[in-house]
Amino acid sequence: MNASPFPLEPEPAELEAQTRAVADFVLAHVASLGEQPSFDLDGVEALQASFREPLPETARLLPGLLERLGPAIAKTYNTAGPGYLAYIPGGGVYASALADFIATATNRYMGVTAAAPVLAQIEETSIAWLCTLMGMPAGSRGILTSGGSLSNFSALVTAREERLGEDFQDASIYLSEETHHCVAKAARLAGFPRASVCRLPTDARFRLVPEALEAAIREDRTLGRRPFLVVVNVGTTNTGAVDPLPEVVRIAHEHGLWVHADAAYGGFFRLAPGGEALLRGLEDCDSITLDPHKGLFLPYGLGALLVRDGAALVRAHRGSASYVQDVTAEGSLGFADLSPELSRDFRGLRVWLPLMLHGLAAFREQLGEKLDLARWAYERLRDDPRFEMLDEPQLSVVAFRLRGTEEDVERLGPELLRRVNARRRVFLSSTRIGGRYALRLCVLSFRTHADRVHDAVVALKEEANALVG
Ligand SMILES: Cc1ncc(COP(=O)(O)O)c(C=O)c1O
């Protein structure tokens, strides 16, 4: 029982008991991740309905609430488990959960530097590390966001402010056909008309064609439009394709365009052995979106935007008001000056603690392993005549489909996916590539190792055999 006269301030002994109960609950969950099914939604509707409930006026006890949360967490895709090979995984390094616990329990204000200067420094240092890892020069700066979509949004606003000023209805933004849909959405949210977004063709390996970019810029100029931005893909979601960065950057800069790299999925592969050569040209981009909740294996809710000319990020986002005069001295900058947010959580600790606790080498090694595992899976499937491979993995996505008639591809593809996932060892996802149904396997969780990728390949082969012989 809580003996405190103030129910929102439980006695220390009660807090300790609650903290231990939560720790036990979480630790048991994390320890069993590998044995948990890769997804489980059986009976989820009834469970969902049980949470449509009135708000209680009186207190409930924590053990009972945890008992209800356990099954709710179980009835999900196991996105933290080793078998999660769908979409873009990451896993969620546990040290970030510890960081979040410290950050939210201490609840320091992170919107302005004056309120927590050393904690702000921890976050700034974490961002500076990311800039260094991406090869960005002195003068670059960045911001931790809630994810790649928000990073891309702020990147577009920054480029718009720098290159166009307030009148931008005649501007052109170049993307490839494979660019993530959040970029077009960001353009819309940033006030651009739909006609501003120009989707350029890709080559046989799903990479932006530099000549097409140059031709589009020239043509748009003759039409009186103002080309100002190209968004390059550093790992597309469909196949992990990396656009030809050096050529695109050269063309874009010759024409005065801002180059933004959507490296949400692929950017951290720069840390892997051979990664700098693999992503050559990334360091010359004007801004870079990264998703630490993907390639740095941190939990969901952590993106980053890095901008080569850090002052541009400030010019695009800085606001002012008299009621913050005590905490915003002339010349001082806080995170609120670099993003749409004011009050925010202490995201820096989610990056700083895992990197400190494990060291960068552990992340490098994991990223290298993911590239190797994807190639291994690719080679096994490529050597099986029942599969048509859509590309060699450029990073850690393997995209493929069953060979056959159009009808086979459209009918048997989803059935193959259903059967493989129904084994509940791995979880894959599908997409459409070139308008046709395709399967994809993305190896990016730090918990995914050779045994699980092997299971995925075996399941695909056995189920393909059962379907098409
Ligand atoms: C290439 C790419 N860009 C951007 C995003 C959007 O990132 P987020 O989901 O963190 O908003 C994704 C998400 O998968 C992605 O794969």
Cα 135 to ligand 1 centre (Å): 21
Q: Among 189, 290, 291, 444, which is best to mutate for testing ligand 1, by the most ligand atoms less than 8 A from CB?
A: 291
Examine the pLDDT at 441 and tell me if it is beyond 60.
yes
Tens digits of per-residue pLDDT, 173-191? 999 999 999 999 999 999 9
Q: Please report the pLDDT score of residue 3 as a whole number.
A: 75
Q: Please report the pLDDT score of residue 329 as a whole number.
A: 74
**Ligand 1 atom at minimum distance from 87 CA:** 14
Pick from 294, 165, 293: nearest CA to 228: 165
Cα 305 to ligand 1 centre (Å): 12
Q: Tell me the C-alpha distance between 168 and 226, whole Å.
A: 8
Q: Whose CA is nearest to atom 8 of ligand 1?
A: 148
**pLDDT category of residue 333 using cuts at 50, 70 and 90:** confident
**Ligand 1 atom at minimum distance from 293 CA:** 10
Which residues have CB under 6 Å of ligand 1? 88, 147-149, 180, 182, 237, 262, 264-265, 291, 303
Cα 263 to ligand 1 centre (Å): 9
In the 8-state DSSP scheme, what is residue 281? T
pTM value is 0.97
Examine the pLDDT at 236 and tell me if it is beyond 90.
yes
Q: Tell me the C-alpha distance between 270 and 374, whole Å.
A: 16
Q: Tell me the C-alpha distance between 350 and 357, whole Å.
A: 11
What's the distance, Cα to Cα, between the start and end of the chain in Å? 64
In the block, residue with structure tokens 């915003």:
328
Question: Per-residue b/e over 189-221, b at no fewer than 16 CB within 10 Å?
Answer: ebebeeebbbebebeeebbbbbebbbebbeebe
Q: Is 197 helix (H, G, I), strand (E, B) or coil?
A: strand
Are residues 363 and 312 in contact, defined by beta-carbon separation less than 8 angstroms?
A: no
Question: How far apart, in Å, are the Cα atoms of 370 and each of 86, 259, 442, 446?
Answer: 14, 28, 9, 8
Burial class (CB in 10 A: 0-12, 13-18, 19+), 330: exposed
Tens digits of per-residue pLDDT, 133-146? 999 999 999 999 99
Backbone phi and psi for residue 430, each to the nearest 5 degrees, phi listed first: -120, 170
**pLDDT category of residue 356 using cuts at 50, 70 and 90:** very high
Tens digits of per-residue pLDDT, 63-83? 999 999 999 999 999 999 999
Q: Please report the pLDDT score of residue 326 as a whole number.
A: 81
Q: Show the DSSP H helices in 342-436 as ranges.
A: 348-358, 360-382, 406-422
Cα 237 to ligand 1 centre (Å): 8
Q: Please report the pLDDT score of residue 321 as a whole number.
A: 82
Q: Tell me the C-alpha distance between 200 and 232, whole Å.
A: 11
**Ligand 1 atom at minimum distance from 291 CA:** 10
Are residues 229 and 159 in contact, defined by beta-carbon separation less than 8 angstroms?
A: yes
Question: Per-residue b/e over 103-130, b at no fewer than 16 CB within 10 Å?
Answer: beeeeebbbbbeebeebbebbbebbbeb
Examine the pLDDT at 1 and tell me if it is beyond 60.
no
Q: Please report the pLDDT score of residue 353 as a whole number.
A: 98
Q: Is 273 helix (H, G, I), strand (E, B) or coil?
A: coil
**pLDDT category of residue 459 using cuts at 50, 70 and 90:** very high
Tens digits of per-residue pLDDT, 210-235? 999 999 999 999 999 999 999 999 99
Q: Whose CA is nearest to atom 4 of ligand 1?
A: 148
Tens digits of per-residue pLDDT, 154-178? 999 999 999 999 999 999 999 999 9
Examine the pLDDT at 328 and tell me if it is beyond 60.
yes
**Ligand 1 atom at minimum distance from 149 CA:** 11
Q: Quick one: average pLDDT of 195-206?
A: 98
**pLDDT category of residue 469 using cuts at 50, 70 and 90:** confident
Percent of the chain with pLDDT over 70: 99
Mean pLDDT, the chain, whole residue set? 96
**pLDDT category of residue 2 using cuts at 50, 70 and 90:** low
Cα 79 to ligand 1 centre (Å): 15
Tens digits of per-residue pLDDT, 87-114? 999 999 999 999 999 999 999 999 899 9
Rg (C-alpha) for the chain, rounded Å, is 24
